[in-house]
Amino acid sequence: MTRVLLLMICVFCVACAKEHRNTATIATTIETSDKTTEISIDSATLDSLRLGINFTPKGNYNNLKQQIATDRQYFARQLTQNKQKAIDTASQYLHDKLINEIVPHWYGTPWDFNGHTNIPNDGEIACGYFVSTTLKHLGFQLNRYRMAQEGGMNEALSLQPRTELKIYRNVSFDQLKTKLNNAYKDGIYFVGLSNHVGYVFIKNNELYFLHSSYYDNKVMIEKAETSPCFQSDIYVFAEITTNRNLVQKWIQNTQIPIR
């Protein structure tokens, strides 16, 4: 299939380009709220049981967001009693809610450079909006429009101070993988690339790229090593589920300023 590159801009400019490819996938039919959607999971590289994550959406999406808001009140009470325990527990909670409950509703949502839907699988979603919208729905107090309209560097700086970011330039994938596994533990991280943004899911020293793909035209998760969208001259990483300051902001419902 012919590949068409629509756009490539630096990490300081909002980015998503567009191509197509053929992949060996299996089609999975899922039901989300009141509609049925077909998504594709690469069965050759991704095994939900081995990864310990869920690919299939469960329940009503709006109810899920309401439940998260209710649960946050519990963590707010715990924070006043045992701060360290509350943050540790909330970190794991946010990890599970994002990867296993929020994101599965978004798999298969069509990509578009100008997409900004607020409803999974109803309209299109650009790469930056996929990140900002899922974080917003996870309960982080942020302006999803402003965040999505920033470049990868500023998006990362909205989540973590520059001194705590991990920035790598002109590295091979093997070098990057080694550096990340030395710096990070299993978790979910934001990544800004030279022409794209998304999440990196680290599990058992492997890197998986979760993003709204301009290459496959949909929200998906795939091995970072073989993802055409993950190729970049620069990688800017910010912690999310392992970011204690960010988790505390979530617990306290603190506004997150966009850089």
Per-residue pLDDT tens for 131-168? 999 999 999 999 999 999 999 999 999 999 999 999 99
For the residues 23-37, what does the mean pLDDT come to? Answer: 41
Cα–Cα distance between 127 and 216 in angstroms, integer?
12
d(CA 165, CA 45): 29
Contacts of 48 (CB under 8 A, 6+ apart): 41, 54, 55
Pairing of the two strands 234-239 and 166-169: antiparallel
Is residue 222 helix, strand or coil? strand
The identity of residue 232, as a single letter, is: S
Q: What is the mean pLDDT of the segment spanning 212-223? A: 97
> pTM for the whole thing?
0.85
- 71 vs 54: CA distance, rounded Å: 20
pLDDT digits (tens, 9 = 90+) for 41-70: 554 457 777 788 999 999 999 999 999 999
Checking if the pLDDT of 174 tops 60, the result is yes
Please report the pLDDT score of residue 45 as a whole number.
Answer: 56
Q: Where are the strands (E) in the chain, listed by range?
A: 26-32, 35-41, 166-169, 187-192, 197-203, 206-213, 218-223, 234-239
User: Nearest 5°: CA angle at 134, between 128 and 140?
Assistant: 105
Distance (Å, whole) CA 229 – CA 33: 30
How do the domains of the chain map onto residue ranges? 26-251
Per-residue model confidence (pLDDT) at position 43: 44
Answer yes or no: is pLDDT of 123 > 50. Answer: yes
Q: Is the pLDDT of residue 1 over 70?
A: no
Distance CA 173, CA 195 (A): 17
| Cα 213 to Cα 209: distance, rounded to the nearest angstrom | 10
Which helix H or strand E contains 100, and what residues bound it?
none
Q: First CA to last CA across the chain, in angstroms?
A: 39
Range list of H helices, 21-82: 48-51, 61-81
For residues 85-102, give the mean pLDDT.
98
Measure the CA angle with vertex 253, ends 250 and 257; round to 5°: 85
Pairing of strands 187-192, 234-239: antiparallel
